[in-house]
């Protein structure tokens, strides 16, 4: 498979490293409007062809698929352009910044018979995959309650850098600079973590968003710090289960931690994912009576990058798909509306 890397900042290094490590995959081209960054990226990853635009790359055309690592607001136009040129697409999350556009992208890929997948990173967590297997097997019985959280502390810690002085963090706090806050940044991750792990879609939500004071006048230079820092969401799942999902950048002591707890009428489980590893704990069978929890060992699973290559070779989209990312975008869109009208919304 011949792969074009579209966008060479941020996550592009991870895409290049993972795809280059897969047998039979060749990184044949790179695209970026920033010439210096493009040159350095392609030299680092031994990519021969460089292009200043997607138009130029498509005119050349000697590739099978695109890894779309452009900014969120550019996903829509660039993905549609690649699809219409008959190229498979592996897109960074979110698929788009609004549901209607995500749906158009999904329907275009499906109509053309092309593979469209999204890099929902935490599908790579083997413990999450095993948790879903247990739920779908009936091991914990009927799912009744779900708790999920995504906790970061970069607003109270300099472990990832100083957000007060670095543009790579400041833009994430400013709506004018394209940020939908913590909801838009990691909301899709924790909603996928919860619904995928529980094996059931989200049906209704009510969300509260909060942007806390962070600087005098909530402004640093050109950046107005008005994007949400925390959200708390109540969720009704399609099977009737109740859920609570929340995320925050103010979670002191948590660098980048995801947790999921699923309670059924026969047993329960929890997935804990941190920067230093992941755990799956289960309370099943006779242990239910004593409240005994045991850690379960889990074998590694294929990465999203490997699944995309497999899908292209088979000519059939695998998960995480454009369709799933579109469902999640609907939830994110409705979350913003519920904050305004203070009413629960169906998704």
134: domain CATH number is 3.30.360.10
Domain limits for position 149: 124-302+319-346
Q: What percent of the chain stands above pLDDT 70?
A: 100
Closest C-alpha among 128, 237, 223 to residue 170: 223
| 241: pLDDT strictly greater than 90 | yes
Q: CA 227: distance to chain centroid?
A: 19
Same domain, 342 and 215: yes
Same domain, 116 and 160: no
- Predicted pLDDT of residue 271: 98
pLDDT in tens, 173-185: 999 988 889 999 9
- Predicted pLDDT of residue 308: 98
Query: In 238-288, which ranges are E strands?
Result: 242-248, 256-264, 268-274, 277-283
Same domain, 75 and 50: yes
User: Among residues 65, 96, 121, which one ends one of the domains?
Assistant: 121
- Predicted pLDDT of residue 71: 87
* Band of residue 54 on the pLDDT scale cut at 50, 70, 90: very high
DSSP 1-27: -EEEEE--STTHHHHHHHHHTSTT-EE
DSSP 52-116: SSHHHHHHH---SEEEE-S-GGGHHHHHHHHHHTT-EEEEESSS-SSHHHHHHHHHHHHHHT--E
Do the domain assignments include residue 314? no
C-alpha–C-alpha distance, residues 91 and 108, integer Å: 14
- Predicted pLDDT of residue 168: 84
Q: Give the distance between the most distant pair of CA atoms in the chain.
A: 66
Same domain, 44 and 171: no
| 319: pLDDT strictly greater than 90 | yes
Do the domain assignments include residue 309? no
User: Among residues 121, 148, 175, which one ends one of the domains?
Assistant: 121
Task: Give me the residue label for tokens 């799942």.
Answer: 237
Task: Give me the residue label for tokens 């706090």.
Answer: 173
* Band of residue 25 on the pLDDT scale cut at 50, 70, 90: very high
Average pLDDT over residues 120-139: 97
Same domain, 194 and 282: yes
* Band of residue 92 on the pLDDT scale cut at 50, 70, 90: very high
Sheet of 49-51, strands arranged across: 49-51, 26-31, 2-6, 65-68, 88-92, 116-119
* Band of residue 236 on the pLDDT scale cut at 50, 70, 90: very high
Same domain, 79 and 159: no
- Which residues are bridge partners to 292 per DSSP? none
* Band of residue 256 on the pLDDT scale cut at 50, 70, 90: very high
Same domain, 144 and 65: no
Same domain, 117 and 129: no
**Distance between the two ends of the chain, CA-based, in angstroms?**
37
Closest C-alpha among 71, 108, 106 to residue 92: 71
* Burial status of residue 274 (CB atoms within 10 A of its CB: 0-12, 13-18, 19 or more): middle
Whole-structure pTM value: 0.93
| 10: pLDDT strictly greater than 90 | no
Do the domain assignments include residue 154? yes
Taking all residues of the chain, what is their mean pLDDT, rounded to a whole number? 96
Same domain, 217 and 100: no
> For the chain, how big is the Rg over CA atoms in Å?
21
Same domain, 89 and 162: no
Average pLDDT over residues 19-41: 97
Do the domain assignments include residue 308? no
Domain of 46: which CATH number? Answer: 3.40.50.720
| 73: pLDDT strictly greater than 90 | no
Same domain, 97 and 140: no
- Predicted pLDDT of residue 193: 97
If one counts the domains in the chain, the total is 2
């Amino acid at each position: 498979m011949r792969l074009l890397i579209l966008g060479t900042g941020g996550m592009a290094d991870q895409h290049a490293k993972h795809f280059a490590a897969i047998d039979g995959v060749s990184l044949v081209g790179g695209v970026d409007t920033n010439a210096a960054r493009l040159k350095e990226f392609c030299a680092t990853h031994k990519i021969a062809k460089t292009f200043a635009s997607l138009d130029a790359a498509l005119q050349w055309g000697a590739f099978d698929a695109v890894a779309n690592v452009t900014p969120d607001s550019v996903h829509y136009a660039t993905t549609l352009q690649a699809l219409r040129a008959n190229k498979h697409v592996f897109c960074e999350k979110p698929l788009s910044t609004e549901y209607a556009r995500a749906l158009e992208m999904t329907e275009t890929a499906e109509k053309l018979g092309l593979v469209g997948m999204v890099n929902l990173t935490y599908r790579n967590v083997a413990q999450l995959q095993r948790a879903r297997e247990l739920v779908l097997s009936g091991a914990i019985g009927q799912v009744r309650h779900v708790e999920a959280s995504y906790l970061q502390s970069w607003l109270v810690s300099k472990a990832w850098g100083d957000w007060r002085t670095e543009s790579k963090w400041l833009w994430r706090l400013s709506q004018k600079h394209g940020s939908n806050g913590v909801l838009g940044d990691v909301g899709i991750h924790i909603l996928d973590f919860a619904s995928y792990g529980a094996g059931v879609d989200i049906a209704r939500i009510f969300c509260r968003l909060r942007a806390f004071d962070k600087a005098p006048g909530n402004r640093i230079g050109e950046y107005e710090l008005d994007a949400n820092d925390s959200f708390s969401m109540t969720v009704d799942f399609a099977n009737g289960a109740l859920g609570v999902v929340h995320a925050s950048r103010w979670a002191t002591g948590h660098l980048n931690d995801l947790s999921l707890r699923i309670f059924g009428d026969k047993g329960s489980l929890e997935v804990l994912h941190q920067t230093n590893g992941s755990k799956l704990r289960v309370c099943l069978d006779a242990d239910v009576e004593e409240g005994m929890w045991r850690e379960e060992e889990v074998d590694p699973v294929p990465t999203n990058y490997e699944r995309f290559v497999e899908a292209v070779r088979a000519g059939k989209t695998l998960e995480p798909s454009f369709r799933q990312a579109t469902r999640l975008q609907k939830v994110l869109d409705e979350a913003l509306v519920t904050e305004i009208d203070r009413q629960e919304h169906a998704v």
